[in-house]
Structure formats: structure tokens, C-alpha cells
Amino acid sequence: MEVLILGAAGMVGQKLLNKLIIKKSINGREIKKLKLFDIVKAPFPDDVNFEVEIITGDISKKEISEKLVSSKPEIIFHLAAIVSGQAEEEFDLGWNINTKGSWGLFESIRELGDDYKPRLVFTSSIAVFGAPFPEKIPDDFFTTPLTSYGAQKAISELLLADYSRKGMVDGISIRLPTICVRPGEPNLAASGFFSGIIREPLNGIEARLPVSTSVRHWHASPRSAAGFLLHAAEIDTKKLNNRINLSMPGLSATVEEQIEALRKVAGEETVKLIKHEIDPKIDNIVQGWARDLDTTRAMELGFKAENNFEEIIKVYIEDDLNK
Amino acid sequence: MEVLILGAAGMVGQKLLNKLIIKKSINGREIKKLKLFDIVKAPFPDDVNFEVEIITGDISKKEISEKLVSSKPEIIFHLAAIVSGQAEEEFDLGWNINTKGSWGLFESIRELGDDYKPRLVFTSSIAVFGAPFPEKIPDDFFTTPLTSYGAQKAISELLLADYSRKGMVDGISIRLPTICVRPGEPNLAASGFFSGIIREPLNGIEARLPVSTSVRHWHASPRSAAGFLLHAAEIDTKKLNNRINLSMPGLSATVEEQIEALRKVAGEETVKLIKHEIDPKIDNIVQGWARDLDTTRAMELGFKAENNFEEIIKVYIEDDLNK
């Protein structure tokens, strides 16, 4: 079986890749080839025992999406995206990659005809929701995004749902919580500080906190994110009854609770490395984000995440610290 | 002031045009020019005392939307669409006109720069909702369309909301109930029979009822629809708080209640002209449609519709029968 990952060079793409390398199969079907796409060359370990093809390019170009699906991969993970902060600044770039890119991919699949209907797992985001919302956002809450990124994800969801309803692809969209703790360097996402205030102190570096400590947000670890993706590839999509957009389980925590968990896991000296300097632009974006979700539907379908923030910190220490 | 109507040859477009001709102004500003666009030449009365420009073309072509907005009309009514039944059959056509057409229009406005921010009233539809839903669909219910038409409208709403949030246009989307009683010939909409079973008998012609009489649906008259559009052009959009998509008020009635109202207004002999022959394809589409809505938000913003089905029939008799 061939598996295609779009956005394979990204952090979650890499976590998924490593999970697939260990698991070697999806739904009992052996992975024979991995096709890894991103704007830059996706890294992969030397000791992989199946074929790997690396493709780079711009997903908003139709010839790229055609090339990606021409070999008819059975499973497609679509994680390629411009992150929220950048999509808000660069309007055209965000729409081109995050919406036209997805649409072009779905079209390229459709053009291959009726005998090709791959499972397509699309990574959406809780940024499809915009404030004000109820304390817990239910599964049937409307999408009123307050960022272009959120609008681009919500539109890709609707496109995938219609192409799936029409039998052109076997799609499922999973709305990821903010992934925390992200390993490595900060990225351009407005949500970056949620990881930074844990990651930097654990690495002995100062971290900047640009929002109030009372900000409540919705988190899951990179390990959980890779787990969601794999589960979405294996699930029986008939159970979704045409409602293919699912909010993934996560953990609702305030920044204060994050800091408290860090104190318990790593001590007071580590916490002192967090410097509080409000950035009104980031603060404004984050005020419009989801704080807590009711994800009954996803949990009933077998998706799982962490239960407290200490767990999330421990996953980072186990999987990523000093690696 | 210049006013542009896209979809001006359509039934609702014509009702709006006639209303504007009588009213002569919007928000107290005199209409000096009307630009009427459609795929065919939009008819207009001879005795209009302002300038009228007729433009025909394909709204999915960028040069057309550029031409339409080049004169910077202050108010734009966007009603142009492929109807639900046709959009379901002709996948590419539906997406091209209903989504790419809208998107191209918004882009053409944006390209004219910061000093041009017209009020844009977009006609959306309750087809953005898909079954199963609660007895009354609340204003914050999610959009899970079960037709391509519904998906195309939901996506246009999200696009307009983001372009509006970014200050590129001053948009409002109104989700029209099924318009009933439509005057004139039947169109390709799957909802056509809701009007047909009233209109044809009132004109002494047999009508076909392709669904069960227990089917409940959501209606407003063409007169109300024109009223919604005008009110949407005059409203203070700041009151919408970035949530620019509004379900319009309407009347929830079963087909049986429609028939009963027809009996009261026009008598038993008229009702006998309705022939009941189930069409599984239409029945299947209609099962996925909204039956009743809670439109508190729109009503608080001053939008008004009919209170019972006899009123709807009387509006047809007054405005359209024998004309």
C-alpha cells in the first residue's frame, strides 16, 4: 500500500511519519511506499525498510497535486498549511495554500475517476470556531472563524465533505487542538507561546508570555496528534453519517494551569524563566479562540488525548527533550 | 448612488428591482443608476426614471466580475446562482458559478483598493443546513449541507465573512427560506413543487406533488424576500459583530398545511388539481432540508416575514396571479 503525506516536513507530519515507520501498516495493510511532500524536503530516518519518495513544491499549483496523486496512494494525510499568524498577514498566500491547495488536491483525485477513492485525512483546526462561544463548544456549534486561517480550514472541510458525499474521495477532517508542547524552534503560529512557555524553560532558556495567565485554551500533545491521524485513517467512515468534520479530544487548561504543571514537573527555577510581556496583536487573536470543547462524538469514535497538563509536559520530556 | 444586482433576471431579482423602482432610494440615498447583471438580459419596466445598464455574462469569469464592479457601485445585491437541483447534477457548473463566481466578485472588489468598500448583500440559503437537525434550527447551528448547492452557499458565506472582517467589503449574507409562491414557470430547483402545488391549481392547471404531505418546510413569500434584501442593504452591519450570516424569518408549514390553506383561500375544486406522485430523487433531497428555524437574531434586527400560509397565498394572488 502507498501512503502520501502532504506537509511531511512539518512537526506533526514528522511525528506521524515516525509512527508509521514503527507501525509498518494501516488497518492491517502493509505500507510498501511512502510519498512525502512539503515545500521543503521532508527528512526521514536512514533505516526505513520501505520505499520513500520525496517531492517538494507548491500545493496551490495544480500540476503538483496531480503529480502527488497520479500513483493513486490508498491513504492520504493532508497536513500542508500556512499557519494562522502568517495566513493573517499574507492574505493571498493563506488562501492559495490553505484553500485552493486543498481544493486542487480534491479535484486531482476526482479527475482520476470512479475507481480511485482514497481515504483522505485532512487536518483542520479549532480555529474554525470564533468567540463568543459557550463554555464548552458542542459538536454541532457553528463555524464563525475570526482569522483567515480558520475560514480557510472551515472551507476546506466543507469541500471535502461534499466531495466525500459525492463518493469522489473517502474523507475525514479532524480539528486538532493546539499542539503542545511543540518541539524545536518557534514557528510563526500565533499559538506558539503555549509551547514556548514550557519548552524554552525546560531547555534552560527564557520564554515570553504575550497573553494574560487567565487565558484558557485547548491542547493535545504531538503524540496524541499523530494518534488522531492514524486513527482517522483506520476508522470506518460510514459511522460518520456524512458529518466528516470532527473536533478532536483535548485538554482545557489556563496558562496559569500550564505554569503550575511546569512547576510541579520541573520546579520553581524553571518557571522563573517565563517573562510576562503582553503583545496586543497576539492577545487579540487568542481572545477569539476556543477554550474548551465537548468532543463526545470523537471520543465515542475512539479518539484519545491527555487528561492533565502534567501528562502533556511528560510526553514532551519523553519524546523530544534533548533529542 | 449606483446599485448593482447580480441575478437580476431571476424571480427574486425582479421583485427586488420593482421594489427599488418604487422606493427610489436606499437608506435615504437616491438611486441614480441601476446595473443589472445576469446570464440573460434582465427585463425592466420602460418607465424607469434612472439610468439602467444591462450586462450579461458568466459570473465565474474574472473579467465579468471586474467589469461589474469597475464603476464602484455603492450597493451590490448578489443573487446569481445555479439552483439546487441543477448544481447537484452538474457538479462543475455549480461550483464554478456558486462558489468561484462569488469568490471572484469579492476579489474584484478587493482589487479596487481600500477606498472602495461597498455594502454587499449575499443571498444564501437554508440548504446550508443538513439533516438530522433539532425541531427548530438555532442561529448557532452548524452547517452540514447535504447538497453541493448548500456547500457552495456555506463556503460563499465564509468567504464573505472573512473579506468583511478584513475590511475589504461590507458584507451580509441572508439565508432565504424557500420562496413560495414563486410566480411564472417552474424552474429546476428541487423545491419547485412547494410553489407548484399552490400556483398551478390557482391557475386552473394540474400540479404534481412529488413528496409526502407530512413533509415540513420553511417558507417566505417573494415579497418578503425582496424586503429582506432591502433591509439587509439598509441595516447597520456593525450590529452583526462579525457574524454576518443570518437565517431569515419564515413560516414553518407541512405540505398538508399548505394544501389546507389553499382549500380555505380557493376551495376544494382547486385543491383537487394537486396530483400526488412520489419522486424518490426529490423526496430524498427534501428529507435533508430544514423544517423549522429559530430566527430570533434576524427578527431582533428587524427582518419580517409572513405568519401563516394563507397570507403567503394571498401575497401571490395580489402580486402575481393573472399578471
Q: Which of B142, B151, B166 is closest, CB to CB, to A162?
A: B151
Q: Answer whether B159 sits within 8 Å of A140, measured CB to CB.
A: no
Q: Regarding the domain delimited by A2-177+221-247, which CATH topology (the fold level of the hierarchy) does it fall under?
A: Rossmann fold (3.40.50)
* pLDDT given at position A308: 96
Calculate mean pLDDT across residues A230-254.
97
CATH number of B2-177+222-247: 3.40.50.720
Indicate the class that CATH gives domain A192-217+251-292+306-319.
alpha beta
B213/A contact by beta carbon, under 8 A: no
Q: Answer whether B141 sits within 8 Å of A144, measured CB to CB.
A: no
Q: Considering only CB atoms, which chain A residues are within 8 Å of B294?
A: none
* pLDDT given at position A95: 98
ipTM of this predicted complex?
0.94
Which of B91, B107, B129, B158 has the most A C-beta neighbours within 10 Å, making it the best mutation to test the interface with A?
Answer: B158
* Closest approach of B239 to chain A, Cα-based (Å): 14
What are the counts of helices (DSSP H) followed by strands (DSSP E) for chain A? Answer: 13, 14
B25/A contact by beta carbon, under 8 A: no
Which of B144, B163, B172 has the most A C-beta neighbours within 10 Å, making it the best mutation to test the interface with A?
Answer: B144
Per-residue tens of pLDDT for chain B, all 323 residues:
999 999 999 999 999 999 999 999 999 999 999 999 999 999 999 888 889 999 999 999 999 999 999 999 999 999 999 988 899 999 999 999 999 999 999 999 999 998 999 999 999 999 999 999 998 999 999 999 999 999 999 999 999 999 999 999 999 999 999 999 999 887 667 788 999 999 999 999 999 999 999 999 999 999 999 999 999 999 999 999 999 999 999 999 999 999 999 999 999 999 999 999 999 988 888 887 889 999 999 999 999 999 999 999 999 999 999 88
* pLDDT given at position A188: 66
Catalytic residues of A: 149
Domain assignments of chain A as residue spans, ordered by start: 2-177+221-247, 192-217+251-292+306-319
Calculate mean pLDDT across residues A261-287.
94
Q: pLDDT (tens digit, 9 = 90+) per residue, A20-75?
A: 999 999 999 999 999 999 999 999 998 888 899 999 999 999 999 999 999 999 99
Residue A1 confidence class, pLDDT cut points 50, 70, 90 = very high
B316 is catalytic: no
Q: pLDDT (tens digit, 9 = 90+) per residue, A119-166?
A: 999 999 999 999 999 989 999 999 999 999 999 999 999 999 999 999
* pLDDT given at position A135: 87
With a CB-CB cutoff of 8 Å, which residues 192-211 of chain B face chain A?
Answer: none
Whether the per-residue pLDDT at A172 is higher than 80: the answer is yes
